[in-house]
Structure 1
């Protein structure tokens, strides 16, 4: 049985121009110890899909699904209180912008310990010890001293590591990483990806990696879902996707990578496809 299984997810927002469908009938699943990558252009509904699972969309969002099963339990049937017991503990998410996600008014140690207090009920000494352990695990030097630092006193890479520490604090069964290497330099990107994959393998978590970086997909994923305008265009194992993409959108996406450029101009997806409609394949 999959760890997470979503069937026909639809997310809509009311706008001044009418109802906008950000996610249009997406279905997916991920199992324990599996890395699933969700790729596509900005605005393709990748993050919105996962925020719907987390229950973190604003009240204006209209979320429906035939099923949204986690460990066999439909998240849609749970009360808000019961869902909060799962979100942050069994399902955790690393957000795109660590400097925006961390609270600038509290130390990073307080923010890590708060998760442990709410979800695990640890006393102060146990929380402190676990926080030091987590900071060590994610590779932050002098972890005991850095617990008293505020987010602005740490680099972008260190803040991303703190976000990972918060996410894995309760040993989640499923970890969702939303563009975990955004705005980081290439060296730090590699370190963060290695850290995530290492933690996933060590703890046997399911990992959903949201990204538009096909290099990240090639390095980390077992299976890939390609999204465009809220719809799933293609799903395949990572080797098949790169060797023989079936959707013309996926082919265009791969052809638009910088390493595939010819001449002095980087081709766009529109250059490659022209006016042809994108084909969805199951």
Structure 2
């Protein structure tokens, strides 16, 4: 049995222009200790699908699925108090843009300790010591001093490490990383990716990596799901995907990599679309 199993997930938003379907009947599964990449361009529904799992979509969103189970537990049917005991503890998420994801009004220490208070029952000195340990685990060596810092007093890379520390604070079984290297320079991107993979291996977590970067996919993933306009176009192990892509959209993504350029022009998605503007699998 898969750790996370989702079948026929659909997410629709009620907008002024009518109902907009951001995710259209996709299936996702991930096993323990597996690294699954969900890849696609911006707007393909990658983040929305995982935010639906976390229960973090706005009231304008309607989420339906035939199955949405975590370790055999129905996430859609369970009461809110039971789901709160799982989300943030057993399933954790690292959000895009770490500086924007942290609350600017509270110190780093307060925000990490709040997670420990809520899910682990740690308070006072015990919570503070654990917060320092977590910061050291993610490579912030002066953790005791950093607890009193506000997000704006830290770099983007440091804030991302803080977000990772908060996400792993309760030893989650599943970690979802949503574009974890966005807005970071190349050197820091590499450090963050290495950190995530090492933590995943160290703690035996399942890891879902949401990205549009095929290089990240190649370096980190065991298996890949490719999404386009809310649909799943392809699913394969990482080697098969790069060596023998099955969908036009996957071929478009791989052809658009600079190293695959032919002549002085990179292909675009439009080059691979059907005559009616669609994208065949």
Query: TM-score category by the smaller chain?
Result: over 0.9
Match of 1:175 in 2: 175
State how far apart, in whole Å, the 2-side matches of 1:258 and 1:81 are: 48
Instruction: Tell me the CA shift for residue 266 of structure 1.
Output: 2.5
Q: Which moved more, 1:49-58 or 1:250-259?
A: 250-259
The one-character-per-residue Cα deviations of 1:144-185 (angstroms, maximum 9, x if unpaired) are: 101111000000000000000000000000000000000101
Q: Secondary structure at the match of 1:193?
A: helix
Normalized against structure 1, the TM-score is what? Answer: 0.97
What is the match of residue 100 of structure 2? 100
Match of 1:279 in 2: 280
For 1:18 and 1:116, locate their aligned partners in 2 and report how far apart those are by CA, in whole Å.
41
Secondary structure of 2:201 counterpart: helix
**1:121-160 matched pairs, under 5 angstroms:** 121-160=121-160
TM superposition shift of 1:125? 1.1
What residue is the counterpart of 1:249 in the other structure? Answer: 249
Does the CA contact (< 8 Å) of 1:252 and 1:273 recur in 2? Answer: no
Q: How many residues align?
A: 280
C-alpha distance in 2, partners of 1:211/1:77?
29
Superposition TM-score, scaled by structure 2 size: 0.98
Superposed displacement of residue 264, structure 1: 2.6
Distance 2:269 2:280 in 1: 14
Change (3 A) 1:83 1:122: same
Distance 2:263 2:147 in 1: 50
- Tell me the equivalent position of 2:227: 227
1:213 maps to 2:219: no
**What are the Cα deviations for residues 22-67 of structure 1, in whole angstroms up to 9, with x where unaligned?**
0000101001100000000110000000000000000110000001
Structure 1 position 66 matched with structure 2 position 66: yes
| Deviations 1:103-159, CA, capped at 9 Å, x for gaps | 001110110000000001012111011100000000012111011110000000000
Structure 1 residue 272, shift from structure 2 partner: 4.1
Does structure 2 conserve the Cα–Cα contact (< 8 Å) formed by 1:249 and 1:278? Answer: yes
For residues 98 and 259 of structure 2, the distance between their equivalents in structure 1, rounded to whole angstroms, comes to 29
Tell me how far apart the structure 2 counterparts of residues 234 and 268 of structure 1 sit (CA, whole Å).
18
Distance (Å, rounded) in 2 between the aligned partners of 1:180 and 1:206: 16
- For structure 2, list consecutive stretches of 5 or more residues without a partner in the other structure: none
CA distance in 1, matches of 2:141, 2:186: 20
CA deviation vs aligned residue, 1:234-258 (integer Å, no higher than 9, x gap) = 0000000000001111111110111
Report the counterpart of residue 8 of structure 2 in structure 1: 8
**Residues of 2 paired with 1:272 and 1:72: CA distance?**
39
- How much does 1:271 deviate? 2.7
CA contact (8 A) 2:274 2:280 kept: no
Contact 1:105 1:150 in 2 (8 A): yes
5+ residue gaps, structure 1: none
Q: Which residue of 2 aligns with 1:84?
A: 84
Q: 1:49 to 1:66 in 2, by over 3 A?
A: same
Alpha-carbon distance between aligned partners in 2 of 1:55 and 1:127, rounded to the nearest angstrom: 26
TM-superposed deviation, 1:14: 1.0
Give me the whole-angstrom Cα distance separating, in 1, the residues matched to 2:159 and 2:199: 17
What is the CA RMSD across the aligned residues, in angstroms? 1.0
Distance 2:154 2:67 in 1: 41
